[in-house]
Structure formats: structure tokens, C-alpha cells
């Protein structure tokens, strides 16, 4: 039986360090889709309002957004309007406070996306604004880049953290009765909070997975074109095809195809595996190896690990690309233009058309 996570119910916050380039916009969209993001706060986006509107029209199909002159270029919040309903409750230069309704989870929560100023004096107004928020007995998530520290061990290297630096942040934290998020014990007991790296920003992104398992039934058989490139594919097919069959004519061909189908299922499970997961795992290993190699240029082992990871990634990439092309039914891909975000959009659209997330009665 196949299992799938409820789509578009995860929450993501990321300091993207600018996103005016179209390639980066597509990369951010792909990351959101891959992580099943329902609502996302993009910090330090450096987008003017007209640029943000243009991006939403040309790249983020099916998404909605909120930006204003108050938060322009600093805070841009996006959400999937088919899965998430959003109401702005409070706006400040350093944060935006929302009431968020997740259709798939039948849940209302308060989310505050924060991007604090760099100086202690400028952040005083942020702490006062956050302290004025009344949560009305609803779950409250505050997430973002505070540009502040909360503990003496929050900084590795550089200047030692002083008591003055954490005075305002810890005072607000105590008054708000918030705690560092591990998981939401009462409301979403299966949720997980993660910090992850991506190559498109030197800041990691914060992801909250709101896990909810759904049963989608038995997967139908599908032939994937990327199988053909496997070194053992032809051998497996021909060995099975030449085995004797009692029936002849079209009936014999039909039975041979049915027999081959089961052989290819085993081949896919044992030799190919999960194409998408394999690609993203290889990409993650490659990204980590790149970081270590760049951090230690004289480390021979790190440089060798980076080369091996690059070879593994290059092996998985064409297989994953072929998989996306086939699933999105796109045959006009031009050399040098991957259009991964478009492929993901087509795949996602097909899933949404065939999947009932929720419905409303009278």
C-alpha cells in the first residue's frame, strides 16, 4: 500500500538573501514544492512590490502573497491558496502576524514571521510590538531571523555574547511564555522542526513538517523511460521474453507482457529504487560535500569525497530529469533549459486534480 503526506501543510521560513533573479525564484519554488510548503516567509527578499507581483504572475502559479510598503524588500509571505487561508492581523517593519487556516488539517494557528533589524536599539521596537500580540488561546508560532541571540552559546567564534545582547530577547521570551520549538505536543504531535541548507542562500531555512499520513491505495504499473539507460535492462527483458510460453499468437504476447510486468516491478524495486528520493539524497550529499570541501581546501579526504559525491549526483540527475519529463508529459525540453519548476508544477497539478484534500458541508 502506498502512503503519502498531506500536501501543502508544512511551514517554511528562509532568509533568501535576495530573489530578483528568475532562476532563483524558480529554485525557491522547487524547494517549497519538494518540502510540501503551505505557507512560507521569505526574508531579505529585496523585491519591490511591482517585482513581487510580476514574480507571482509568472512563476508562482496557484500561490498568493502579501507584501506592502511597510515590509517591502524585507518580508514576503507566500501561501498555497488551495490549501491555506490567511488573514493579516498585525504588520510591523520587523514582523507580520497572521491567522492561518489549513484546510487539510482542519486547523487554525497564529504565525508570526520575523526579520529583525541589526542593532539592539532598532530591535527594541520589535520586542515591544511582539509583546503586544494577544494569541487568544490559539497555537502560536513565531519564526524567522531575529538577528538576535537568546543564549550565551548561540554564537560560535567571534565576539563572546554579553548579558546586554540577550537581555531584551530573553525578557520577551519569558513574558510571551514561548519556548524553542521541538514539536507541537498538543496540536500537532507528529510535527517536526528542522533546519536545512540549500545551495541558493548562505542561510539555512527553517522547516516545520506537519505530518499526517494518508492511504492512497495500490500504485498502478508504469513504465519509466529512464529504465532503458540501465546497464541490465535489456538483459532482463530479453531473458524473460525468450522463456517458453504455451500460448501462441496475441494471447501469447499478452501473457508475456503480463509476466514481464512483474519482472520489471522487481527490477524497479531492487535496481532503480525511489528515483526522486535517490536524486534528492545524492544532491544533499553533494551539497554537504561541497560545503566541507570549501571549508577545508587543504583536506585531501574532503576534496576526494566531493569528487565522489559529484559523480553520484551526475549519475542520478539524468534519471531524475527523465522521470520528471515523463511524469509532466513534456517532450519539448531544450538542451540547457531544465525547467524543473515547471515540471514540478505539472506533476503537482496532476496530483491535485486527482486528490481530494477536504470538502465543506452545509
Mean pLDDT on 242-258:
85
Through-space distance between the first and last CA atoms of the chain, rounded to whole angstroms? 33
Note if the pTM is more than 0.85.
no
pLDDT at 325: 76
Mean pLDDT on 69-98:
92
Q: Are 269 and 277 in contact (CB under 8 A)?
A: no
Mean pLDDT on 178-186:
63
Percent of the chain with pLDDT over 90: 30
CATH of 2-215, one of 3.40.50.300, 1.20.1560.10, 3.60.10.10, 3.40.50.720: 3.60.10.10
Q: Looking at the predicted structure, is the pLDDT value of residue 329 above 60?
A: no
Mean pLDDT of all residues in the chain? 82
Distance (Å, whole) CA 212 – CA 290: 34
Q: Looking at the predicted structure, is the pLDDT value of residue 131 above 80?
A: yes
pLDDT at 60: 93
Band of residue 108 on the pLDDT scale cut at 50, 70, 90: confident
Tell me which of 217 and 286 has the higher pLDDT. 286
Distance (Å, whole) CA 13 – CA 207: 7
Question: What does the pLDDT look like over 140-171, one tens digit per residue?
Answer: 889 999 999 888 888 877 788 899 999 999 89
CATH 3.60.10.10 residue spans of the chain: 2-215
Q: Which residue has the cell 527483458?
A: 237
Lowest-confidence range among 122-136, 177-191, 195-209, 306-320? 177-191
Strands 192-196 and 205-209 turn out to be antiparallel
pLDDT at 190: 62
Tell me which of 30 and 199 has the higher pLDDT. 30
Amino acid at each position: 500500500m502506498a502512503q503519502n503526506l498531506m500536501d501543502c501543510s508544512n511551514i517554511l521560513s528562509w532568509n533568501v538573501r535576495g530573489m530578483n533573479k528568475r532562476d532563483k525564484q524558480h529554485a525557491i519554488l522547487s524547494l517549497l514544492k519538494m518540502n510540501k510548503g503551505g505557507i512560507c516567509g521569505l526574508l531579505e527578499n529585496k523585491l519591490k512590490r511591482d517585482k513581487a507581483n510580476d514574480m507571482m504572475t509568472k512563476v508562482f502559479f496557484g500561490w498568493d502573497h502579501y507584501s506592502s510598503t511597510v515590509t517591502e524588500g524585507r518580508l514576503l509571505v507566500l501561501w498555497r491558496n488551495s490549501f491555506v487561508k490567511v488573514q493579516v492581523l498585525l504588520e510591523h517593519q520587523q514582523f507580520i502576524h497572521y491567522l492561518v487556516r489549513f484546510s487539510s488539517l482542519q486547523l487554525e494557528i497564529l504565525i508570526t514571521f520575523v526579520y529583525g533589524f541589526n542593532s539592539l536599539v532598532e530591535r527594541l521596537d520589535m520586542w515591544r510590538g511582539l509583546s503586544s500580540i494577544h494569541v487568544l488561546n490559539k497555537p502560536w508560532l513565531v519564526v524567522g531571523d531575529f538577528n538576535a541571540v537568546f543564549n550565551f552559546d548561540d554564537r560560535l567564534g567571534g565576539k563572546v555574547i554579553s548579558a546586554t545582547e540577550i537581555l531584551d530577547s530573553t525578557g520577551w521570551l519569558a513574558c510571551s511564555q514561548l519556548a524553542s520549538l521541538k514539536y507541537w505536543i498538543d496540536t500537532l504531535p507528529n510535527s517536526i522542526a528542522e533546519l536545512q541548507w540549500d545551495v541558493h542562500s548562505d542561510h539555512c531555512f527553517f522547516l516545520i513538517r506537519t505530518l499526517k499520513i494518508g492511504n492512497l491505495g495500490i500504485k498502478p504499473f508504469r513504465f519509466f523511460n529512464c529504465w532503458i539507460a540501465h546497464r541490465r535492462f535489456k538483459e532482463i527483458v530479453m531473458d524473460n521474453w525468450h522463456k517458453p510460453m504455451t500460448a501462441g499468437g496475441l494471447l501469447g504476447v499478452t501473457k508475456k507482457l503480463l509476466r514481464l510486468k512483474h519482472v520489471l516491478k522487481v527490477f524497479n524495486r531492487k535496481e532503480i529504487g525511489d528515483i526522486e528520493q535517490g536524486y534528492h539524497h545524492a544532491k544533499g550529499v553533494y551539497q554537504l560535500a561541497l560545503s566541507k570541501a570549501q571549508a577545508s581546501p587543504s583536506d585531501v579526504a574532503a576534496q576526494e569525497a566531493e569528487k565522489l559525491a559529484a559523480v553520484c549526483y551526475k549519475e542520478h540527475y539524468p534519471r531524475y530529469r527523465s522521470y520528471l519529463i515523463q511524469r509532466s508529459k513534456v517532450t519539448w525540453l531544450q538542451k540547457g533549459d531544465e525547467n524543473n519548476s515547471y515540471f514540478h508544477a505539472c506533476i503537482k497539478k496532476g496530483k491535485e486534480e486527482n486528490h481530494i484534500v477536504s470538502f465543506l458541508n452545509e
